[in-house]
Amino acid sequence: MEPETLSTPFGGAEYIYRRVGLTFKHLHREHWRIHGVCKISFVNIPSSEQVTSLRNAWKALVIKHPRLAVVPNGTTFKSYKILENAEDVEAWANETFFLESDRSSDEIVRTTGPRDLPSLHFNPASCELVLLASHWRMDAVGCMMVFDQLFTLTTQKPVSSPKPTEEQIHCISPPLEDAAACPPMDSSPSSTASKTYAERWIDNMHKKAINACGLPYEGENTTPPGETTQKDLNFSPSATSDLVKSCKAKGISVSAAIHAALAHTVFSFSPDGEKSDYTTVMAVNLRPYLPTPYNGPEHAVQTYVASIIPTVPRGEDFTPAARDLTTSYKTWYNDESVRSLRWIYAIHAEKLFNAPKPAASAPPPKPPSGVTLSSLGIVESYLRHQYVSSDGEVGKGVRVEGFRFGVTMMTRQMLLYVWTWKGRLTISACYNEAYYSEGMVSSVLGRLKGILEKELAYKLDVE
């Protein structure tokens, strides 16, 4: 008998991420696929058991998070073929766990094509783990939570054949709008008010941020994407400490300082006559505002982020801009925006995917080339440095030596991720090689660093 299959529609946020991810499927590429990379070392786990321990932990994870086994069914539905027994779990692991002998973590990210399932790749030679997942399935915070649970399970006594339970179907994390208990879209006065709020919000977002042009790019408007890649700026612990100290003295957050410096960097690349302000779509973690249990690691395998669209005026100096951004970060949340999420995503999808085409006589619009910023904060809030067995396996453990996160970029937009790990600040640029050379990206990061040094009055050494 075939296993039972549960089919449900994508939520509004999931649908948008799914459609955007498919934009370049005809080129065998996925836009906005997330990747997390951890370099690890084993403590008292023999080399002959290391791969098995990781694979067994991965299998145990799909029991805790059955959404790891959900697959898309077109663009509007997702399906879950219920894992009924240990054989089903093993079959899922065969499709999602890969032992890598030749590819580095960067090559895994660059050369792995679109997949309906997530995948975990382990290279024993470099001791690197790479987690790949479509953005409709998971976000950055969820990725870190998944690694945290994976390493915890790796240090426990192995369960080579974990068995699903009847309750597993109820563990599938709901879409954001359902987790946030958003009211339905109907003709009630409250829903009509939410629709009006959503229309204003989306109009502002599309006008100022979605189609923003910021950086000069290579190629023509019709140039197809090339390889996706990533370049990091890693500050030393002492430079990170100095930067934090200076930001505190100015009453600004580190993320706001980087944001203000990025705005001034984009301004420095603007062509003559370009007078627009810097507005970006910035992802914010909505988990702390969700009710239990959706605010914790039990629902790591979902995309629970919202967006804000702060603006830095072109003529505003660094410190006032950073202070305004710091306030924006603290005050962005409001109940009305959450109540309006269903309308926001519905209207956003309509504008993205069903917008009328420009007249044939009109000049082709300039592709967006703005720079987006997303801050992961302090990675240790979700991922520990060391995991030690708590179930009798004395001395057995996993150390996390390095961490990295990014997304695949197929457009002319560049995305900067910011995080702190082991006292080191990283600013990581995700971009596409068809539109930006490594030298151009180095120039962006170099100018940003120079503005931080000038405004914060510290020499910021990098490693």
- Asked if the model's pLDDT at residue 1 lies above 60, the reply is no
Asked if residue 156 belongs to a domain, the reply is yes
What per-residue confidence (pLDDT) applies to 451? 97
**Can you give the CATH number for the domain in which 102 is found?**
3.30.559.10
171, 87: one domain: yes
| DSSP secondary structure, 216-275, as one string | --SS-TTPPP--EEEEEEEB-HHHHHHHHHHHHHHT--HHHHHHHHHHHHHHHHPPTT--
Does residue 245 lie within any of the structural domains?
A: yes
Question: CA-CA distances (angstroms) from residue 340 to 281, 335, 351?
Answer: 18, 9, 16
Q: In this predicted structure, which of 35-39, 305-309, 368-372 has the lowest mean pLDDT?
A: 368-372
Domain of 131, in residue numbers: 5-176
* 443 within domain boundaries: yes
* pLDDT tens profile 177-206: 999 999 999 989 999 999 999 999 999 998
Q: How far apart are the first and last CA of the chain?
A: 57
Is residue 256 located within the same domain as residue 332?
Answer: yes
Last residue of one domain, picked from the residues 112, 147, 176: 176
The winner for highest mean pLDDT among 80-84, 269-273, 394-398, 435-439 is: 435-439
Q: Which of 176, 198, 228 is the last residue of a domain?
A: 176
Query: 145-149, 209-213, 329-333, 359-363: which has the highest mean pLDDT?
Result: 145-149
Judge if 252 and 120 occupy the same domain.
no
Final residue before a domain boundary, out of 176, 197, 218? 176
CATH of the domain at 259: 3.30.559.30
Same domain, 55 and 109: yes
Are 289 and 333 in contact, with CB atoms under 8 Å apart? yes
- pLDDT, tens only, 64-78: 999 999 999 999 999
The verdict on residue 234 lying in a domain is: yes
Nearest to 409 by CA among 427, 440, 428, 433: 433
| 144 and 231 co-located in one domain | no
8 Å CB contact between 43 and 396: yes
- Nearest Cα neighbor of 258 from 38, 440, 460 is 460
Can you spell out the DSSP letters for 68-106? GG-EEETTTEEEEE---SHHHHHHHHHHHEEE-SS--HH
Total structural domains within the chain: 2
Cis-peptide into 3, omega within 30 deg:
no
HEC states along 291-331? CCCCCCHHHCCCCCEEEECCEECCCCCHHHHHHHHHHHHHH
Q: Compute how many other C-beta atoms are within 10 angstroms of the C-beta atom of residue 168.
A: 19
Domain for residue 31, yes or no?
A: yes
Considering the domain architecture, whether residues 231 and 356 belong to the same structural domain is answered as yes
258 and 156 within one domain = no
142 and 228 fall within a common domain = no
The answer to whether 139 touches 304, Cβ cutoff 8 Å, is: yes
d(CA 110, CA 355): 31
| Whether 45 and 94 share a structural domain | yes
What CA–CA distances, in Å, run from 459 to 241, 323, 455? 11, 22, 11
17 and 61 housed in the same domain: yes
The model's pTM: 0.95
Say yes or no: 229 and 114 in one domain.
Answer: no
On whether residue 447 sits in a domain, the answer given is yes
CA distance 393 to 448: 47
144 assigned to some structural domain: yes
Residue spans of beta strands (DSSP E) within 82-218: 97-99, 119-123, 128-133
Asked whether residue 463 is assigned to any structural domain, the reply reads no
In three-state secondary structure terms, 22 is coil
Could you give the CA distance from residue 414 to residue 371 in angstroms, rounded to a whole number? 5
Per the CB < 8 A criterion, the answer to whether 450 and 442 are in contact is: no
Whether 114 and 249 share a structural domain: no
Q: What is the number of other CB atoms lying within 10 angstroms of the CB of residue 225?
A: 20
Q: Is the pLDDT of residue 302 over 60?
A: yes
Q: How confident is the model at residue 249 (pLDDT cuts 50, 70, 90)?
A: very high
The residue written with tokens 């140039």 in the block is 223
Give the pLDDT band (50/70/90) at residue 394: low
Structure confidence at residue 2 (pLDDT): 58
